[in-house]
Amino acid sequence: MDPIIILQAGVATGTVLLFATIGEIFAERAGVLNLGVEGMMLMGAMSAFSVANSTGNAWLGVLVGMLVAGLLSQLHAFIVIQLQADQVVSGLALTFVGTGLSLVLGEGLSKAGAGALLPRFSLPGLAAIPFLGPIFFTNQSVMVYLGYLLAPAAWYYIYHTRPGMNLRAIGEYPAAADSMGVNIYRLRYFYVFVGGMLAGLAGATISLAVSPGWFSELTTGGQGWIAVGLVIFAQWNPLRAMFGAYAFGALRRLILDIQGPALLFGASNIFKTHQSLTYFLEMLPYAFTVIILVIGSREAVRNRLGAPAALGVPYVRGERGR
């Protein structure tokens, strides 16, 4: 139970959550709730692992994983943007489709063992910083470093660029953006696609870096749902998402590691003696997610947190009588 190791591993697992959360932030900022993150992550993880294994090129795996998840997201986009169906129902269905499809297509992959993986390395110089160096910059996957760049970049894009401003507008008050010639439909498709690609990246990060391999639905183990909750926790802000993702990642690792030592705070470790208690611990991140989702679904709370006002509302042009 070394705190440095827990935090170091927390950042690595948290990177998975970070990619998925930022992806969902893009989709929700555009006004589209996509509850299919879990399904898209599984498709991403499976196809990335499969391609990396058969071609021996992990980067090609990442690319394919992102594209496959991105394509899957377009099914949701078509249903909710074009056909204006309920976003919650369609998102749930997408998770079922993604999960089922990845299990069928990934059959046999679980015996395949890890092949080509993404590189991991330490950053010279930065790794020498006391405390922070070992946690953030030592022996981490390339994906972890990508996460450090992606979150601030996404933040800058949303708040300080013109396309980011348009993105916020179409999630807040699409009619205003439409009246000024912003193409709502095209942009919503685009940001749902971005969300799907990032969910795919999250999946590929699991199967090619953080815990390599294909373990059917246990590969993601519900992390897609945690990401959906983290979006609310992060108040649709990629920088806050960084904090939340790493904290949840560290929590997951802590729950694993706490079962190791014989003594905990000087007393006998009940999580070692009573293995069944660990199930309770393992439940905690999901229980947190459920609580965040429930609290976050209240109108007053949403307004205070700054939820996009048009989130979940299909846009229909020029109807009289609002």
Partner 1 sequence: MIEPSSVIQMRGIVKRFPGVLASDHVDFELRRGEIHALLGENGAGKSTLMNILAGLYRADEGTIVVHDKPVNFSSPRQAIQAGIGMIHQHFMLVPSQSVTENILLGLDHPRFRLRLAENERRVAELGEQFGLKVDPKAKIWQLSVGEQQRVEILKMLYRGADILILDEPTAVLGPAETEQLFKTLRGMTTQGKSIIFISHKLNEVMAIADRVTVMRRGKVTAADVSTKSTSTAELARLMVGREVLFRVQKQPQTPGPVVLAIEDLTATNDRGLPALQKLNLQVHAGEIVGLAGVAGNGQRELAEVATGLRRAASGRILLNGENLTNQPVRRAIARGLAHVPEDRNRVGSSPNLSLTDNMIMKQYLQSPIGRGWQLDAGEAAAFAQRLKQSYEISAPSVETQARLLSGGNLQRLILAREITAQPKAMIAMQPTQGLDVGAVEVVHRLLLEQRQQGVAILLISEELDELLSLSDRVAVIYEGAIVGEVTDGDIEKIGQLMTGSV
Residue with tokens 């058969």: 54
Q: Using alpha carbons, select from 224, 218, 219, 217 the residue that is nearest to residue 209.
A: 219
Residue 309 C-beta: closest distance to partner 1, Å = 7
Q: Report d(CA 235, CA 230) in Å as an integer.
A: 8
* Token output for 51: 């391609």
Residue with tokens 């489709």: 97
Residue with tokens 């229909």: 316
Stretch that binds partner 1, among 13-21, 137-145, 155-163, 219-227 (CB under 8 A): 155-163
Closer to partner 1 by CB, 260 or 306: give it.
Answer: 306
Number of amino acids touching partner 1 (CB under 8 A): 24
Residue 308 C-beta: closest distance to partner 1, Å = 9
Closer to partner 1 by CB, 284 or 309: give it.
Answer: 309
Q: Is 153 in the site for partner 1 (CB under 8 A)?
A: no
| Residues 298 to 317 in contact with partner 1, rule: CB under 8 A | 306, 309
CB 234 within 8 A of CB 247: no
Q: Using alpha carbons, select from 53, 11, 28, 18 the residue that is nearest to residue 293.
A: 28
| Residues 159 to 198 in contact with partner 1, rule: CB under 8 A | 160-166, 168-169, 172-173, 175-177, 179-182
Closer to partner 1 by CB, 111 or 160: give it.
Answer: 160
Residue 305 C-beta: closest distance to partner 1, Å = 12
Give the DSSP letter of residue 140. Answer: E
Residue 155 C-beta: closest distance to partner 1, Å = 13
Q: Using alpha carbons, select from 199, 179, 256, 214 the residue that is nearest to residue 106.
A: 214
Closer to partner 1 by CB, 111 or 322: give it.
Answer: 322
Q: Report d(CA 257, CA 107) in Å as an integer.
A: 31
Residue 73 C-beta: closest distance to partner 1, Å = 25
Q: Is 322 in the site for partner 1 (CB under 8 A)?
A: yes
Residue 194 C-beta: closest distance to partner 1, Å = 16
Q: Using alpha carbons, select from 232, 230, 263, 268 the residue that is nearest to residue 249.
A: 230
Residue 302 C-beta: closest distance to partner 1, Å = 12
Closer to partner 1 by CB, 82 or 161: give it.
Answer: 161
Residue 163 C-beta: closest distance to partner 1, Å = 7
Among 124, 130, 266, 318, binds partner 1 (CB under 8 A): 318
Stretch that binds partner 1, among 142-150, 154-162, 197-205, 274-282 (CB under 8 A): 154-162
Closer to partner 1 by CB, 29 or 253: give it.
Answer: 29
Closer to partner 1 by CB, 182 or 295: give it.
Answer: 182
- Of the chain, the end-to-end C-alpha distance in Å amounts to 58
* Token output for 227: 């990401």
Q: Report d(CA 174, CA 216) in Å as an integer.
A: 39
| Residues 35 to 94 in contact with partner 1, rule: CB under 8 A | none
Contacts of 64 (CB under 8 A, 6+ apart): 47, 48, 51
Contacts of 307 (CB under 8 A, 6+ apart): 28, 232, 236, 296
Residue 303 C-beta: closest distance to partner 1, Å = 10
Q: Report d(CA 32, CA 247) in Å as an integer.
A: 26
Can you give the binding site for partner 1, defined by CB under 8 A? 160-166, 168-169, 172-173, 175-177, 179-182, 306, 309, 318, 320-322
